Amino acid sequence: MRLTKLLHNTEIVKSRGDLSREIKGISHDSREIKPGYLFVAIRGEQFDGHDFINEAVEKGASALVVEDEAKLPLLGPPSIVVRSSRKALAELSARFYNHPSRRLKLIGVTGTNGKGLTCHFLFHIFRAFGYKVAYLGSLGAWLDQEPLTWPNKTTPEAPLVQETLAKIAEKNGDVVVMEVSSHAIAQHRSWSCEFDMCVFTNLSQDHLDYHKDIESYFQTKLKLFLDYPPCSSKSFTSILNVDDPYGKRILKEIRTPFITYGTSNEAFVRGYIVRQDFTSLLFHLITPAGETDVRLPLGGLFNFPNALAAAATAFAQQIPLETIKQGLESTTPLPGRFENLNEGQDFPVIVDYAHTPQGIEELLISISPLCKGRKIIVFGCGGDRDRSKRPLMGRIAAELSDVAIITSDNPRSEKPGKIIEEILSGIREENRSKVIVEEDREKAISLAIRIAKRNDCLLIAGKGHETYQIFADRVIHFDDREVAKRLIKERLNATPS
């Protein structure tokens, strides 16, 4: 594609050289540059792409897009100075791949918790309706049963997002359900994606290391509903949780059609729980098209609002109620989301991805009506992430459990002991006797399994589906599910028959 065509409608501050060159590819990573590629220098959290311009030129970059003109070489390929390299990267990537989201039904899901589960439910509903469906998000990417290339990130940089959408369109995909993280919105990774619908699940404290405060975090989420629709060629519908105060705030701000969901009578699509156990939820679903009971084959009360979100989205797409029911009831359990580990022990063991104050609270509330014995929770907090949520998670876990074992999560560059100290700082004195500290995560899980008695409920929270643990100097293989299963078997084998 000609560079001039690629730059159409991108806000340019200044340009230099021949802009009629042919561009064979786009990348923000100098290591990926090949002859004929366009290199876009973006400022990342750890590195500044402007420092790698010379490397990109040496590898044959045909042109450069930058924010900082002073970093350009005196002699080099054509260059374009823009106000935002990240925004330009998204726009250029969408044009290079011929705006693939226009050829697909694209549904974005954002919120602190529940993005992956809501996408998972939508995936099954749209498949039940006969669509060829793709999922993109924290668990990876796939089109029907075919895996797609996707990094270990909820929403990667714009070139890969657009390239993946293009591949899905080429393979005759119909619908894409896509998690949209707050980082993706703030860093324009999802910019130039033209959504048919966006779903808001909820908002609670997380990522404040990046967004600084909850209001900034909310304003970032709000952009998906305010800034994206005017730049799209499609009509746009918002799907909003009116049980969440931030969902109500979005409702007051938007200027597009919307559908609300929740448990209150004001919700357009609503429902209530009939019965629950460790492996399923039975709820009554109420829509303007009728009512029905739905047996969701997943435990955990927090799955209920996500199922309502998916039902509301499908209803807005005019999918029949019976198909919505069929899709939800055909849902398969997600790895590490309220995953019930049954190795023959006489107490339930649940592994869950809950890693925020709200997530920990919802997990413990979900288990309370089901648990006949003590509630035991093992959890930690990730390093190099929002520190302010650590004491909150400590307080909630100690208040709502009978035994809280605090351990290491992904400490990254921080010392695990320091992270644990910050978790402990939020625990009230009257709850300190419930708390055990064991820095080594495997030993913490082992301790929890050893002390669990018949009908106690053990929750292992924070890492869910992850198969690694990140330290300052290494990344090791670590899967809570593998570790717990092995330790349960060891306990059973050591117990006299």
Same fold, 100-329 and 339-494: no
pLDDT in tens, 28-70: 999 999 999 999 999 987 889 999 999 999 999 999 999 999 9
Residue 404 has a pLDDT of 98
Write the burial class of residue 175 (CB in 10 Å: 0-12 exposed, 13-18 middle, 19+ buried): buried
Domain 100-329 classification at class level: alpha beta
- What mean pLDDT is predicted for residues 114-133? 97
Cβ neighbours of residue 442 closer than 8 Å, sequence gap 6 or more: 478, 483
- Cα separation, 140 vs 200, in Å, equals 20
Biggest distance spanned by C-alpha atoms of the chain: 81
pLDDT in tens, 323-367: 999 999 999 988 898 999 999 999 999 999 999 998 999 999 999
Residue 212 has pLDDT above 90, yes or no: no
Q: Residues for the chain: how many in total?
A: 497
Cβ neighbours of residue 76 closer than 8 Å, sequence gap 6 or more: 53, 57, 64
Strand partners, 271: 285
Phi, psi (degrees; rounded to nearest 5) at 477: -70, 125
204 — pLDDT class (breaks 50, 70, 90): confident
- Cα separation, 272 vs 289, in Å, equals 17
Alpha-carbon distance values, 482 to 168, 217, 466 (Å): 33, 35, 11
E strands present in 21-70: 25-27, 37-40, 63-66
For the chain, the structural domain boundaries read 3-96, 100-329, 339-494
Please give the CATH topology (third level) of the domain spanning 3-96: 3.40.1390
Residue 497 has pLDDT above 80, yes or no: no
Task: Give yes or no for a contact between 478 and 468, defined as CB atoms under 8 angstroms apart.
Answer: yes
Spell 106-143 as b/e; 16+ CB within 10 A means b.
Answer: bbbbbbbbbbbbbbbbbbbbbbbbebebbbbbbbebbb
Choose which CATH entry (3.30.530.20, 3.90.190.20, 3.20.20.140, 3.40.50.300) describes domain 339-494.
Answer: 3.90.190.20
Of 494, 376, 491, 378, the closest CA to residue 442 belongs to 378
Of 3, 70, 58, 67, the closest CA to residue 30 belongs to 58
The token pair at 371 is: 């648990």
Helix (H) or strand (E) holding 48: none
Cβ neighbours of residue 188 closer than 8 Å, sequence gap 6 or more: 84, 86, 87, 89, 90, 158
Give the rounded percent of residues in the chain with a pLDDT score beyond 90: 90
pLDDT in tens, 270-318: 999 999 999 999 999 999 999 999 999 999 998 999 999 999 999 999 9
The token pair at 70 is: 């002073």
